Each structure stands twice: as structure tokens, then as C-alpha cells.
Amino acid sequence: MKIRKDLPIVILALLFSCGEKISSTIKCEQNGPPVFASGPEVKTGSSSLDFVFKLNQTAKIYYVVYKSDQGSITSQQLKDEVLSSAANSQVLVKEVVEVACADLEEDVIITASGLPENTSVYAYMVAESNSLDEVLQDAPTFFEAQMKERQPVETFHSDAENRDVLYLVYRPEELLKGSEETFPAIIFLGGNGETSTQGQINLIRNGTLPEYLSKGNDIPFIVFSPQHIVNNWNVDMVNEMVEEAKSKYPVDVDRIHLTGISGGGIGAWNYAVKYPEQLASLVPISGDGQDNKACNLVNMAVWAFHNDGDGLVATSGSINMVNAINACNPGPKVEAKLTIFEDAGHNAWRRVYDINSSEWSKTTIQPIDIYAWISEQSK
């Protein structure tokens, strides 16, 4: 990333109100152009960019994010661009932001959202004093930044299948921007319609979780989607995916969750009964399981989904598994849940993964935020 201070394009206006002094070294009211006490710098995700800095006084920050390098522009030109209502095809995002005096001791973080993934963007920002006078900085600060890929393809070697397994990995924006925290993880297993030949990805289709993420939707999980090449999931390979996630990514091992659709729903049930110690929750959709092993699942949260008129995988598959879990003695730590949609189709997952899906209009059940529920589950 390079920083150039002779170009004005990004305008973010931060207005610090004239309040009391925060410390002996910070004054809310000062003459002259604002001075950055630290920064500015930018941190990029796949769809958003953060400007991070500290200021010595209240100010307005103007910023613009462009598709291409705009060359040298003045502070006044940048401010005018931000305030202009005229269309500019080169502008991705522009804004003026006000920041309160009480924020002067902390890092100011301004987020520009809705940016294209895996491409270079060109951001300009300039500060303007907003208390005793209105003076712009001499020149804008310029950033050329690389947006990250939303779901890059990675590989691990599977001993269980004696092949290199491709997988998609989605990382939350906070992680892409450098967070050192651990994150909950979701493992997604596709159905028979998502099988592929070796070396190819066929997961971003049919209303899958990877497709939902590919449309710019963000969720607070690292999501791993291994690519299968045969219809029946090898649960030992799935466990290798789990171990890959734990060893190479900042995954909270107490919050690993598994979901799958159709044949992947069957695979999810089968994995969970063999490796229950790995999971905090299970969300199988349009699947079927081994109800004679259901009591292996009493220590995890389970929410199954199915359509009542599913002609490919009988609804009884989900009903029998959930009933068997709840009949265990001792019983599950959390009662297993089952939602059946009055729908003749097989693809119940389209609405489950997308709370805004038009599929919800076809059922009397109110939209469910499955990600909020998963977020509540832990070992």
C-alpha cells in the first residue's frame, strides 16, 4: 500500500463538538488546519475499507474512494467533490463525517462500504477544522489499496481420500482488516448438485451458503466450504477439513458449527454422530441421519430444517433424528429443534441461509435469522 499526500479524493468529515478538554494535551478548539496525531492509514476487507487515525482537534473529514487514480487534486477540489450532487462514474463512495470531541483520545475509524472485492481502489481524504475557524489541510492524503478476495480457494491434502481437496474460505471483514481475535467457524457441506470434478469448484450455486456470501452478505464467522467429488460425503475427510481450519485459521475451537444441504445434510448428520466432540451446533437441511446414534448429539445444539413435500429426501429423515435426540436419557443439553416448511420443493436451504429470500413468502413461518441462533451456541 502506498500513501501519497499530494492528492485530494477521499472526503470523510469528522466534526468534533466543542466540549470540555479531554486531557492537558488535547484541545477541542484550535486555530488552523487539523493535524493527524497518528495515521492516517487504511485497512481493507473484501467489501469495505477503514480509515484509521487520530486528530489533534475537532474537524470535518472528507473522503472519496475512486475506481482509478485521479492524480493530484487540491483539498478544495476534494471537498467540492464530496459535497457535489453531480454524478461521477469514477466515484465508488464519498462522505463527510462528523466526530465528537470526546473521541479525540481514541482512534477514529471511518468505514467506506460497498466496495468491489479483489481490486485496487484509490482513496483520498482531507481534514478541515471545525471550531474556531474552517481551514482545510494543505493537501489530501492519498491511498492506493488492494481489496481482498471474498472467498478465495485454498487446498489441503486429505489422507482419507488420497487427494488434494479444494475449499472456499470466507473471512469476516474484521479478520481481513487485521483483528487478532478468534472467530466462530461454520463448515458447509454441499449437496449432490454441488459435486465437481477434481480441481474444480462448484459450490457457488443453488442458493448455497457460499452463494449467499458471494452476493456481498457478511456474517461473523469464518466459513469453510470443502469441494466434494462424489455424492456421499466422507466424514473422515470432513474431519480433516475441521482440523485444517483449527490449525491454520484463528478459529474458536469451542464454537465450530456444521451445516449441510441435501446430501450434505446427510453428511452433516453422519459427521456429527461420529465426531460430536468437534461441534457446538449442527444445522442439517433436507437431510437424513442414523437415529440409532442420535444420542451422540446430546451435547450440541441442533436445528434441522425440511420441506414437508420434499420428494428427494423424505421429511421423516429430519423428524426421526430430532425426535430421537430429544428422547435420549439423559436428554440433550439444549432441546433439538425442527422447522418444517409447507413447501413441496427440496431446497429448504434457500430461505434458511438468506433471511431476505423471496422463498419466505411461500411459507407461513416467520423469517429466521439462523446466524443469530448459531452465534448463541458454544460448547
Average of pLDDT values for 312-322?
A: 97
Is the backbone peptide bond immediately before 330 cis, with ω within 30 degrees of 0? yes
pLDDT for the residue numbered 370:
99
What band does 104 get if pLDDT is binned at 50, 70 and 90? confident
* pTM, 2 dp: 0.89
What band does 131 get if pLDDT is binned at 50, 70 and 90? low
Kindly tell me if the per-residue pLDDT of 2 is higher than 50.
no
* Position with higher pLDDT, 17 vs 52: 52
Q: How large is the angle between the packed helices 235-248 and 263-274, nearest 10 degrees?
A: 70
Kindly tell me if the per-residue pLDDT of 3 is higher than 60.
no
Residues 13-40 pLDDT 10s = 333 333 333 333 456 666 678 888 899 9
Going from the N-terminus, what domains does the chain have, and what CATH number goes with each?
Answer: 2-146 (2.60.40.10), 153-375 (3.40.50.1820)
pLDDT for the residue numbered 1:
40
pLDDT for the residue numbered 269:
99
Residues 192-235 pLDDT 10s = 999 999 999 999 999 999 999 999 999 999 999 999 999 999 99
* DSSP states along 219-280: -SSEEEEEPPSSSS--HHHHHHHHHHHHHHS-EEEEEEEEEEETHHHHHHHHHHHHSGGG-S
Kindly tell me if the per-residue pLDDT of 6 is higher than 80.
no
* DSSP states along 305-358: EEETT-SSS-THHHHHHHHHHHT-SS--SS--EEEEES-SSS-THHHHH-TT-G
Per DSSP, the three-state class of 292 is helix
pLDDT for the residue numbered 142:
97
Kindly tell me if the per-residue pLDDT of 149 is higher than 60.
yes
